[in-house]
Amino acid sequence: MTDTKTQQIKVVPVAGRIGAEIHGVQLSGDLDLNIFSEIKQALNDHKVVFFKRQNHLDDASQEAFAKLLGEPYAHPTVPVKNDTNYIFELDSAQGAKANQWHTDVTFVPEVPKYSILRGVTIPKVGGDTVWANTNKAYEDLPDGLRHLADELWAIHTNEYDYAQFKQVENTTDEVKKKYREIFESTIYKTRHPVVHVHAETGKRHLLLGGFAGRVEGYTTSESERLLSIFDSYVTRLENTVRWQWSEGDVAIWDNLATQHYAIADYEDQHRVVRRVTVGKEIPVNKENESSRLLNKK
């Protein structure tokens, strides 16, 4: 007889090229294995999946669920939230607003495979998050640009670009400075292929985003122009999905298949989300050459 729990699960795409909502699941550390494998499959198919109103979750049970997807680990520079083992908290009151396109933690060679994010305090209006499918971005490139991208390597670092940091609005300079000091307490520089081959799906993906700076072999201004062309394919609206949060919602994304952007349009309303990242993957290009750390100080 089929498991009745399995029968309840429903995967409903919410945009054409990325994103699906999963109905009929209560996330927990002892999730039914069949359901878990359907979630994994949905992640490979849709890159980001959403679970509405998982209000039963707290920090500990979010961590317990995350463990099913891989080994959780703390952010390389930002301390974990008090009384948790792995939770990375983004609290708007502390200046933590990720309103920049990025893939999580690409400034180190071991990139998290999955991020599991829970909405804790959500503004009445605003504060949506957008994800983009980096495989579709790669496939959308004209042949010449795709071949160029396949050959390139980019340097990723957590050293803030001050011009970009100005985008963080409605946060005092003091708060911003403090957050930046923590985020940059150790500076990493990592060389990643601009196109990596996904370990599970074998698909090629652009691997860029906010931590990517220089493209090897090109000047700063050439790098900027090259990256802005590639980025424009990642962020074209056809390749994105936007999630309007309610408290308790959970989003899980395949970090090596996506970029995301947290929209900072909620003025001085309070917004808190909590994330666990799991699984470490060292990206490889089509020649199976791996990313590597260049510098840490």
Q: Binders of ligand AKG among 79-98, rule CB under 6 A?
A: 90, 98
CB of 112 to ligand AKG, least distance (A): 9
Q: Which of 63, 104, 249, 281 binds ligand AKG (CB under 6 A)?
A: 104
Give the number of residues in contact with ligand AKG, rule: CB under 6 A.
Answer: 10
Question: Is the CB of 90 or the CB of 252 nearer to ligand AKG?
Answer: 90
Name the phi and psi angles at 113, rounded to 5: -75, -45
Q: Distance from CA of residue 157 to its chain's centroid?
A: 16
- Using CA atoms, how far apart are residues 266 and 128, in angstroms rounded to an integer? 9
Question: Is the CB of 35 or the CB of 127 nearer to ligand AKG?
Answer: 127
Q: Does 129 bind ligand AKG (CB under 6 A)?
A: yes
Tokens representing residue 292 in the block: 């590597």
Q: Does 49 bind ligand AKG (CB under 6 A)?
A: no
Centre a 10 Å sphere on the Cβ of residue 204 and count the other Cβ atoms it contains. Answer: 20
- Using CA atoms, how far apart are residues 208 and 225, in angstroms rounded to an integer? 13
Q: Does 275 bind ligand AKG (CB under 6 A)?
A: yes
Among all chains, which residue has been given the structure tokens 């708007």? Answer: 92
- Using CA atoms, how far apart are residues 51 and 226, in angstroms rounded to an integer? 36
Q: Which residues contact 54 (CB under 8 A, 6 or more apart)?
A: 26, 27, 118, 248, 249, 250
Closest-CA residue to 280 (of 108, 61, 49): 108
Q: Which of 156, 260, 272, 291 binds ligand AKG (CB under 6 A)?
A: 260
Question: Is the CB of 34 or the CB of 76 nearer to Fe ion?
Answer: 76
One of 17, 46, 75, 102 is an active-site residue; which one?
Answer: 102
Indicate which of Fe ion, ligand AKG, none lies near residue 25 (CB less than 5 to 8 Å, by partner kind): none
- Using CA atoms, how far apart are residues 271 and 262, in angstroms rounded to an integer? 11
- Using CA atoms, how far apart are residues 65 and 58, in angstroms rounded to an integer? 11
3-state secondary structure of 227: helix
One of 17, 156, 260, 271 is an active-site residue; which one?
Answer: 260
3-state secondary structure of 1: coil
Which of the stretches 45-53, 92-100, 105-113, 200-208 binds Fe ion when contact is defined by CB under 5 A?
92-100
CB of 107 to ligand AKG, least distance (A): 13
- Using CA atoms, how far apart are residues 221 and 227, in angstroms rounded to an integer? 10
CB of 275 to Fe ion, least distance (A): 7
Question: Is the CB of 100 or the CB of 190 nearer to ligand AKG?
Answer: 100
Q: Does 254 bind Fe ion (CB under 5 A)?
A: no
Examine the residue annotation and report whether 147 is marked as an active-site residue of this protein.
no
Examine the residue annotation and report whether 104 is marked as an active-site residue of this protein.
yes
Question: Is the CB of 15 or the CB of 226 nearer to ligand AKG?
Answer: 15
One of 59, 75, 104, 231 is an active-site residue; which one?
Answer: 104
Active-site residues, by number, are 102, 104, 260, 275
Note the residues at the interface with Fe ion (CB under 5 A): 98, 104
